Structure 1
Amino acid sequence: MAGRWRGVLPPGCGPRRLQGPPAGAEKKGGGGAVESFPADATWIWSDGSAEEGVHRGGGGALIVTHDGATREVRVAAGRLCSSTRAELFALRAALEDLTSTPDRDTARPIIICLDSKAALALLKNGPAAQRTPVAADIWKALQGISATGQPIQLQWVPAHCGLPLNERADGLAKEASALPQEDTPIDVTTVTRAAARSASARWREAWPDGWHKEIWGSRLPGPVEGEDRCSAIDVHQLRAGHWSCSEQYLHRIGRRPSPGCEQCGSVRCPAALCRVCREEADTPRHVLLRCPALAGRRLARVGTIHPTVTELQDDGVVAALAAGFRAQLSRLATPP
């Protein structure tokens, strides 16, 4: 188990610049910022890899000197490891390789390119804020280089956007993940996150089969976006299969007793019939996928009167159909 970094580094002598992603960089492809740097710099392209984001970490880096010479760096990052931690391992190994080179040229700048926003954000907090040995080691290496007067810049680049050297670093990281991992210490944060992720996955896999799982599989839905609170409640209840506007649901929980049936869960009970079309029980499946009164709404929202269950992952679709059903009920309640 890796120890927790206890030291405090002086905050005053960091690298010249750490540059995060500018607005819209993902859409532009990331080439503009890279092309603006001097061609005669020493370049470090680093990347990290972890299977399923948590297993068999590997860090890879490509060092390109001003004369075009290249060196490849591969390092195991731990049997349990996040991709961010793997990228930090790659950067530390690259800096160690660079600074251990005898008679290296310190006059030309060093440009370090990473495609991990999380790693760059962690380093941007400064040396005194680092709480892991790997991040502290990186800052010590950066400070050592800066002390010689050599300019350094850490630059974010988007992943898989056609930058050949970044793709090579990605390949090196994947190769490094196959290296022996036994001797690489694992930090407490990684162990905790891996345990939480594993527990969450087992819990989601144990969900019983049903309407909610049919829509989402083993995914957890996020908050409803772009709708008011009442509409968001409708969306969540319809996806969960327990809608407070459904006659079938209200009858099932005893809130809509009928003369012939106090309470039951049968979808064939007359008390459960859809008040709009009277064809079948107004279950969420009926309301969202089959009710003929909402065929026009379904056609307008998804381009067909027979949408698929996966299309119900769209908040706007479910909210529109819920609003349409409520509008139909309102017309029925309004005397002619």
Structure 2
Amino acid sequence: MPAASASHLELVDRELRAAARVITGCPASTPAFALLSEAGMPAACTRRSVVAARLLGLAMSLPEGDPLRALAESTPPRRLKTTTGWRDRGREALARVCRGGAPLTFEARLATAGPPWRDVPGVTIVLEVGPGGRRDCHPDTRREAAESRLAELPAEATWIWSDGSAADGVLNGGGGATIISPNGDIREVRVAAGALCSSTRAELFALRAALEELLNMDGRDTSLPTVVCTDSMAALALLRSGPAAQRTPLAADIWRLLAALTEGGQPVTMQWVPAHCGLPGNERADALAREASALPQHDTPIDGGTICKAVARDAARAWQQSWPDGWYRAIWADRRPGPVLEADRAVAVDIHQLRAGHWSGSAQYLHRIGRRPEADCPQCNDMGCPAARCRVCREEADTPRHVLLRCPALAGRRLRRLGNIHLEASMARDDGAVAALAAGYRAQLSLIGYAP
């Protein structure tokens, strides 16, 4: 795909559009960008950049001297000016996401994580603090649940609070940690996590740096347990799969350090805590992580997963910025729709069609495509044509904008559902509101004798 021509990409996009019409129920006349977006399927051009960057990252993670790495590092002359291969396209994609322009260091591939039968006893990973720690609970409730759980852990221990930070979830990562010794001494750790870095990877950098610092401390009491607190559920879930299941050198290093900590029978408890709820240790680690994100990043290696995530986000953003101004862009601006979770297929189709701008329940749309001809005008795209007027209020054409935002017959439903009758296009992000207004419009048609 990285070397595919525009005509070949169009063949792929054609199949994607056919699949998107099945997923959404949108008609063939729906603009391609809106159709693919509603189906959660980015255009093929975005996938091409991701595949090229992934291939480049995998090749550069191989040992020096490997034939594939040598091929990735080379720059041979092009045989065809119009054909760009995975090396050039991957470099272009990485240059777009790495705004600094500094050369990147790629993380070496992990050869082996160790035999699956080898375990590290003494390490306990806990991913919850009780029902009060759920994300939908009030911050005070979450803090109280965390404090209650932490009170059950040994007070006479070495406590580590760690956190990670990454701008937009993929840029300029930093990790920070606070190490509190049983005698009250406090050490703070800051570490750069890479120019391209996911939030989870930044958390892992913070954990590794904190464990290394702890192991190198002079006079450390090896008879006391260690408690590690972090707000990264993803990082702890990754580590919980065990040392043999790790696929990156970073996670394998953390398990190596944990094994070194527990060699003398010293237990380690890794405890998840809710974020941003007023826990002093977590707040301080968060501040250290933000400070660490400003450290020089060029020497910190990046991994293939982060490369794919960053390039995919950049390519999707560029594709979205290419959308023309109009109804659909007014709805989403710089956001993207999630899946429509309505159980009723007909309701889900109404939501997709109304947002995409081509609704089969609209008289204007049906007249435009010749499915609602009139004696004086069999078919036209004139918004002022009498055949295109809203059959409920007769004020203007019943476009999706009119039905959702303007039709006076639906003002009561807008008020009850959204608390206002003067709405912006962004209200169409609410699946339930769109479904309610579509159902209200069809009910009004039934009242005046039209088939819904």
Q: Which TM class, normalised by the smaller chain length?
A: over 0.9
User: How far, CA to CA, are the matches of 1:318 and 1:227 in structure 2?
Assistant: 15
**Match 1:95 to one of 193, 207, 211:** 211
- Equivalent residue number for residue 439 of structure 2: 323
**Match 1:7 to one of 109, 112, 116:** 112
Alignment of 1:176 with 2:292, yes or no, is yes
**Match 1:25 to one of 116, 125, 133:** 133
| Residue type of the alignment partner of 1:332 | I
Conservation of the 8 A alpha-carbon contact between 1:120 and 1:156 = yes
Report 1:252-263 matches (<5 A). Answer: 252-263=368-379
| Residue type of the alignment partner of 1:301 | R
| Residue type of the alignment partner of 2:244 | A
User: How far, CA to CA, are the matches of 1:296 and 1:188 in structure 2?
Assistant: 52
Conservation of the 8 A alpha-carbon contact between 1:15 and 1:142 = no
- Work out the number of aligned pairs and report it: 335
Conservation of the 8 A alpha-carbon contact between 1:14 and 1:142 = no
TM-score (norm 1): 0.95
Residue-by-residue CA offset, 1:231-274 (whole Å, 9 max, x unaligned): 11111111111110001111122222222223222211111011
Please say which of residues 12-21 and 316-325 is displaced more in the overlay: 12-21
Change (3 A) 1:220 1:105: same
| Alpha-carbon distance, 1:227 to partner | 4.7
Structure 1: where are the runs of 5+ without partners? Answer: none
**Match 2:410 to one of 275, 290, 294:** 294
SS at match of 1:218: coil
| Residue type of the alignment partner of 1:16 | V
- Equivalent residue number for residue 42 of structure 1: 158
| Residue type of the alignment partner of 1:25 | G
Conservation of the 8 A alpha-carbon contact between 2:327 and 2:425 = no
Q: How much identity, in percent, do the aligned residues show?
A: 61
User: How far, CA to CA, are the matches of 2:132 and 2:366 in structure 1?
Assistant: 49
**Match 2:380 to one of 252, 257, 264:** 264
Report 1:78-117 matches (<5 A). Answer: 78-117=194-233
SS at match of 1:61: strand
Structure 2: where are the runs of 5+ without partners? Answer: 1-105
Alignment of 1:236 with 2:335, yes or no, is no
SS at match of 1:333: coil
| Residue type of the alignment partner of 1:186 | I
User: How far, CA to CA, are the matches of 1:54 and 1:180 in structure 2?
Assistant: 16
Conservation of the 8 A alpha-carbon contact between 2:172 and 2:294 = yes
User: How far, CA to CA, are the matches of 2:209 and 2:376 in structure 1?
Assistant: 77
Conservation of the 8 A alpha-carbon contact between 2:123 and 2:258 = no
List structure 1 segments (4+ residues) > 6 angstroms apart after TM superposition.
none
User: How far, CA to CA, are the matches of 1:115 and 1:93 in structure 2?
Assistant: 16
Alignment of 1:220 with 2:336, yes or no, is yes
Conservation of the 8 A alpha-carbon contact between 1:14 and 1:139 = no
TM-align CA RMSD = 1.6
User: How far, CA to CA, are the matches of 2:196 and 2:113 in structure 1?
Assistant: 26
TM-score (norm 2): 0.71
| Alpha-carbon distance, 1:305 to partner | 2.6
Conservation of the 8 A alpha-carbon contact between 1:302 and 1:317 = yes
User: How far, CA to CA, are the matches of 2:308 and 2:342 in structure 1?
Assistant: 34
Alignment of 1:282 with 2:398, yes or no, is yes
Conservation of the 8 A alpha-carbon contact between 1:2 and 1:185 = yes
User: How far, CA to CA, are the matches of 1:229 and 1:193 in structure 2?
Assistant: 32
Please say which of residues 232-241 and 301-310 is displaced more in the overlay: 301-310
Alignment of 1:153 with 2:260, yes or no, is no
- Equivalent residue number for residue 32 of structure 2: none
Change (3 A) 1:334 1:97: closer
Change (3 A) 1:334 1:72: closer
Residue-by-residue CA offset, 1:314-335 (whole Å, 9 max, x unaligned): 2111111100111111223379
**Match 1:197 to one of 313, 320, 332:** 313
Residue-by-residue CA offset, 1:15-53 (whole Å, 9 max, x unaligned): 431000244413231322123222221111111111111
